[in-house]
Chain A
């Protein structure tokens, strides 16, 4: 920071005075700020889950019926892929902390690769539905029951938002790799990687609840 500024002081428990020289590497502050952002994400997806639960309660059997037409194998594969990718994301954070930059880059590349695989599978899943004529406001969909229309509307909205988060994650990962190459991230200054790992875990967490609610309820028989 600029040296000409008025110095600020903090006091420790013994009452000793310490001059504050730098706010730049405030890791706790950065993380706290990022958690606040994650809470907005929680409310964004939370509200969508709320809408899902409300209509699931009202149109239970329609939702179960509609859920049966989703591809469980593709969805299940994506669940595993996302789980593996969060593992590698976490490992990359550990590598950065231990200053193993090359290894960290490798694990981030693996994460990017897995996220792209996730998106490709998602694409085929969506295309399968769209080829059946099921997409928002399509004639085939509008002819179905009210509950099924709501189910597919929520399915496209929620998995769409989730996919958007995956894309943003990939972009941030590429940026982090660039910063690693420029040696702007090191074992001393790694909070960006830590926040990225937190973001990726939230993306995974959303899927942890999304998968059972959209795909697994089809096993629930008719009550």
Chain B
């Protein structure tokens, strides 16, 4: 444990901080750089947010330096959440459509 934590330094925190600031500024600037429809804007915004989340998770929350157990349980929690989203998404998209397999 003490070996791995040595990798966490103020320099590392600062580097990640600078990258996060740049990504945040990109979040503000995105509509002025590429303006698109709602879905394009949402996809671009969430793409930046996901990169930020991965950086925060791996460096600020030390998942990169933790034992594999931590990475796996975080992954499992995210998979569970994704399942909820996928199931609800199919409901949202197909709610008002009828699928009758036996009708020609």
- The residues of A with any CB-CB pair to B shorter than 8 Å are 27-28, 31-32, 35-36, 39, 42-43, 46-47, 50, 53-54, 56-58, 60-61, 64, 76, 79-80, 83-84, 86-87, 90-91, 94, 97, 197-198, 201, 204-205, 208-209, 211-213, 216-217, 219-223
**Shortest distance from the beta carbon of A198 to any chain B beta carbon, whole Å:** 6
**Does A216 lie within 8 Å of B53, measured CB to CB?**
no
**Does A83 lie within 8 Å of B21, measured CB to CB?**
yes
Contacts of B20 in A (CB 8 A): 83
- Size category of the B interface is 35 or more
Give chain B's interface secondary structure class. helix
- The residues of B with any CB-CB pair to A shorter than 8 Å are 1, 5, 8-10, 13-14, 17, 20-21, 24, 27-28, 30-31, 35-42, 45-46, 48-49, 52-53, 56-57, 60-61, 66-67, 69-70, 73-74, 77-78, 81, 84-85, 88-89, 91-93
Q: Which of B13, B36, B67 contacts A91 (CB 8 A)?
A: B13
**Given A47-B84, A213-B45, A222-B38, 9 other A-B residues pairs in contact with their CB atoms under 8 A:** A50-B84, A86-B60, A87-B14, A94-B13, A212-B49, A216-B41, A219-B31, A220-B41, A221-B37
Contacts of B74 in A (CB 8 A): 35
Contacts of A201 in B (CB 8 A): 56-57, 60-61
The distance in angstroms between the C-alpha atoms of A79 and B49, with both chains bound, is: 12
**Shortest distance from the beta carbon of B35 to any chain A beta carbon, whole Å:** 7
Contacts A87-B13, A94-B10 given; indicate if A79 touches B24 (C-beta within 8 A).
Answer: yes
**Does B49 lie within 8 Å of A53, measured CB to CB?**
no
7 closest residue pairs by CB, A with B: A219-B31, A212-B45, A220-B38, A220-B41, A223-B37, A39-B77, A87-B17
Q: Across the two chains, which residue of chain B brings its CB closest to A54? A: B92
Contacts of A61 in B (CB 8 A): 38
**Does B88 lie within 8 Å of A54, measured CB to CB?**
yes
The distance in angstroms between the C-alpha atoms of A63 and B44, with both chains bound, is: 17
Contacts of A58 in B (CB 8 A): 92
Give chain A's interface secondary structure class. helix
A-B CB contact pairs (8 Å), 21 listed: A32-B70, A32-B73, A36-B73, A47-B84, A54-B91, A57-B92, A61-B38, A79-B27, A80-B24, A87-B17, A91-B10, A94-B13, A204-B56, A208-B49, A209-B49, A212-B42, A213-B46, A216-B31, A220-B42, A221-B38, A221-B41
Contacts of B46 in A (CB 8 A): 209, 212-213
The distance in angstroms between the C-alpha atoms of A84 and B91, with both chains bound, is: 39
